[in-house]
Amino acid sequence: MNKTAAAIFAALAMAFALTSSAPAAAQEEEIEEVKSELADAADKVAEAEQALEEAEEKAKQLEKDIAETEEGLEGMEEELSDFAFQMHVEGELSNTSAILASGDPDSALDALSYTSFLGEQRAGLLNEAETLLTDLKNQKEAHADQIEKAEKALKKAEKARGELKDTLEQLEYEAAAGPTGTGNAGAPSGTGTSGPESCSEADPTTSGCLTPRTLNVYNQSVDAGFTRYTACYRPEEGSDHGTGQACDFSADENTFQNYPATGSDKEYGDNLAAWYVNYYDVLSVKYVIWYKQFWSPSTGWQAYNGGTGAANTDHTNHVHVSVN
């Protein structure tokens, strides 16, 4: 190879490398940006939780203050009532007699004035307690709005954090170019044919039917160790399930959970999806959907946008496989 050709080849190689790495770099930058937003969202959730906790503590304190004030008010009302009764029944007669019988009417009048003063003092305290109770109840009513606002703020913050988590998970999943499972379970057997077949075989998972190739895929999957909850046929127009050409393999042991698979359940789904991709030819696999990702022989792994946010429609709780 001459120097000119070598230079051209090197330039082309460098251009290809730059072209190939650009999407990955941009994707990594987007992932880091979402991570930063997620950290901020976590802080906002913590702040909202603290605000709600403080609001609830204040509400408890108001309840306590109201209860104590009501109890004190009740005691003062009883005491004032007794005082008024004594003044009414005994006060006037005894004080009048004291004035008439006393050698010092001024002293008797002073005693009467003092008794009246005590009554006014008690009535004043009662009025103050009633005013305090009214104020506390008004505070409680106004504070109920603060608690409602704090609860809404927390829900909003948690929702934003959840959406960012989903976004980050999707970006990281796309960056990994499909399931991270090895798919190295035992090799299946099959014909790899794709001609028309009828729904002629009994479906082991439902009361419906499967095509011979789909039944083979199901049996081979079970033989390879993928034995968790599965449902294949369902009467659904326009769907491979309705023609007996598809199965849904749950990531859960017993059912289709209504939340995304995590941990060992996700690992199970990753391995199963990768296994179908590894052996798509002998199994006549038409396409696979798993964890918001779609795979076909012609497209490879790409984002799946057919979901609605639910685990079932996003295929985050089960692996869907369609057979030719």
Query: Which pLDDT value is given to residue 30?
Result: 83
Query: Which pLDDT value is given to residue 113?
Result: 54
What letters, b where the CB count within 10 A reaches 16 and e where it falls short, cover 2-34? eeeeeeeeeeeeeeeeeeeeeeeeeeeeebeeb
Query: Which pLDDT value is given to residue 120?
Result: 63
Query: Which pLDDT value is given to residue 201?
Result: 97
**Cross-sheet strand order for the sheet of 230-231:** 230-231, 246-250, 318-323, 285-290, 293-296, 300-303
Q: Two tokens at 96? A: 């009048």
Query: Which pLDDT value is given to residue 285?
Result: 96
Place of tokens 């049996």: 219
Give yes or no for a contact between 228 and 198, defined as CB atoms under 8 angstroms apart.
no
Look at the alpha carbons of 180, 186, 190, 192 in this order and tell me if their dihedral is positive or negative.
positive
Query: Which pLDDT value is given to residue 15?
Result: 38
Report the 3 state secondary structure along 10-23: HHHHHHHHHHHHHH
Q: Two tokens at 277? A: 């991709």
Query: Which pLDDT value is given to residue 251?
Result: 97
Query: Which pLDDT value is given to residue 4?
Result: 44
Query: Which pLDDT value is given to residue 178?
Result: 63
Q: Which domains does the chain have, with CATH numbers?
A: 3-175 (1.10.287), 201-323 (no CATH)
Which one-letter DSSP state was computed for residue 315? T
Residue 104 to residue 94: CA distance in whole angstroms: 15
Q: How many CB atoms lie within 10 A of CB 92?
A: 11
Q: Two tokens at 25? A: 């770099």
Task: Single out the residue of 180, 182, 213, 178 nearest to residue 199, CA to CA.
Answer: 213
DSSP of 37-54, one letter per residue?
HHHHHHHHHHHHHHHHHH
Query: Which pLDDT value is given to residue 294?
Result: 94
Query: Which pLDDT value is given to residue 78?
Result: 60
Q: How far apart are the first and last CA of the chain?
A: 48
pTM: predicted TM-score of the whole model, two decimal places: 0.50
Give yes or no for a contact between 188 and 220, defined as CB atoms under 8 angstroms apart.
yes
Look at the alpha carbons of 11, 13, 15, 17 in this order and tell me if their dihedral is positive or negative.
negative
The low-confidence residues of the chain, meaning pLDDT below 50, are 1-23, 92-93, 99-100, 108-109, 111-112, 114
Number of H helices, E strands in the chain: 7, 8
Q: Give the DSSP H/E element, type plus range, for residue 99.
A: helix 92-101
Place of tokens 């046929």: 233
Residue 167 to residue 27: CA distance in whole angstroms: 12
